[in-house]
Amino acid sequence: MAEDFIEVDGVEKVFDVRRKTGLLRRERHQVRAVDSLTFSVPRGEMVGYIGPNGAGKSTTIKMLTGILTPSAGRLRVAGIEPSRERTRLARRIGVVFGQRTTLWWDLPLIDSYRLMHRMYRIPDARYRENLDRCVELLELGGLLDTPVRQLSLGQRMRGDIAAALLHDPEVLYLDEPTIGLDVVSKVKVRGFLRELNEERGTTVLLTTHDLTDIEQLCKRVMVIDHGRLMYDGQLDGLHQVGESERTLVVDLERELPPLDVEFARVVKVDGPRQWLAFPAAQSAAPLVAQIAAGYPLADLSVREPDIESVIARMYAREEPSLGGTAAPS
């Protein structure tokens, strides 16, 4: 069995918060951002870590990097306790926060990389090799002399991913790496991450609101809500637990009455475009075949359900246990 690279055992994080209740009065209360969290990730696995806003995802990642210290529980990354040995751990991990950049805003991209070369004391040959590889695969060649503030969001994100990888980290934490990117950039970023995981065996913990990221990259997904692990298993299993639905968007060659097909129902019609909902755990292939055989089809695409609706459906179910393969209560 693969060695556990990330170990989280009964971890809690409680923030003390002061709230203004009057002109001069302040009330203290506690926010339990992470609660009895237990999971482990073997070396080389790529795991999705999802949940609604305020669920505790960023707090978990900050504890895994050592930025925050857990209030209780045990946490190890590569055998290191992050908050005690943050600097030693920093050489072994890479972090990308999609909403913030770690690059120097006013400097050309290549200057940020040169600074990281020095800061992480990366051996010259390794730095050159990693830089060349990232520049090629992330298509950064024409951008190296551009100041970061002039890069588009997608270019900046690719620049940030390269920055996180120059020192060859064994684990990569990605917090919303595809947020705000166009379809082409998303495809590029996902392709790069898949290759990184397969070829280099980099362990990846991926936080995202885009279930397509998870579907295309992760065999395993963990769902956190109110600081607790609600589900740990395969994405298909999550769809089954949540009885969620995907949407097939069908463009017909002309306007038609709502399509009559098995296993799906038409939820919206707009001119020649129709939206059909079908169980997310089911393959779209038979449905597509049915439509192609019976109707004048021009184009189609599949939309994943959003994470909030999958989780809302999990709650709507009557059974108290929301577990996939494991969800400690």
51 binds ligand ATP (CB under 6 A): yes
Q: Which of 3, 15, 27, 283 binds ligand ATP (CB under 6 A)?
A: 15
The distance of closest approach from Cβ of residue 68 to ligand ATP in the complex, given in angstroms and rounded to an integer, is: 8
Q: Is 315 in the site for ligand ATP (CB under 6 A)?
A: no
Number of shown-chain residues binding ligand ATP (CB under 6 A): 12
Stretch that binds ligand ATP, among 39-47, 57-65, 163-171, 195-203 (CB under 6 A): 57-65
With tokens 């918060």, the residue in question is: 17
Residue 224 β-bridge partners: 229
Q: Is 17 in the site for ligand ATP (CB under 6 A)?
A: yes
Q: State which residue, 175 or 215, has the beta carbon closest to ligand ATP.
A: 175
Give dist(CA 52, CA 211) in Å, integer. Answer: 12
Comparing CB distances to ligand ATP, the nearer of 56 and 233 is 56
Out of 2, 3, 30, 54, the only residue in the binding site for ligand ATP (CB under 6 A) is: 54
DSSP per residue over 243-287, as a string?
A: T-EEEEEEEESS--SPP--TT-EEEEEETTEEEEEEETTS-SHHH
Residue of 37, 57, 162, 300 interacting with ligand ATP (CB under 6 A): 57
- State which residue, 54 or 258, has the beta carbon closest to ligand ATP: 54
Distance CA 96, CA 289 (A): 40
Please, is 7 exposed, middle or buried when counting C-beta atoms within 10 Å of its C-beta (0-12, 13-18, 19+)? middle
Report in angstroms the alpha-carbon separations of 73 from 7, 124, 234: 11, 39, 26
Does position 178 interact with ligand ATP (CB under 6 A)? The reply is no
Nearer to ligand ATP, 55 or 241 (CB): 55
HSE-CB for 76 with a 13 A CA cutoff:
12
97: which 2 tokens? 């926060």
* 18 scored as a contact of ligand ATP (CB under 6 A): no
What does the binding site for ligand ATP look like in residue numbers (CB under 6 A)? Answer: 15, 17, 31, 33, 51, 53-59
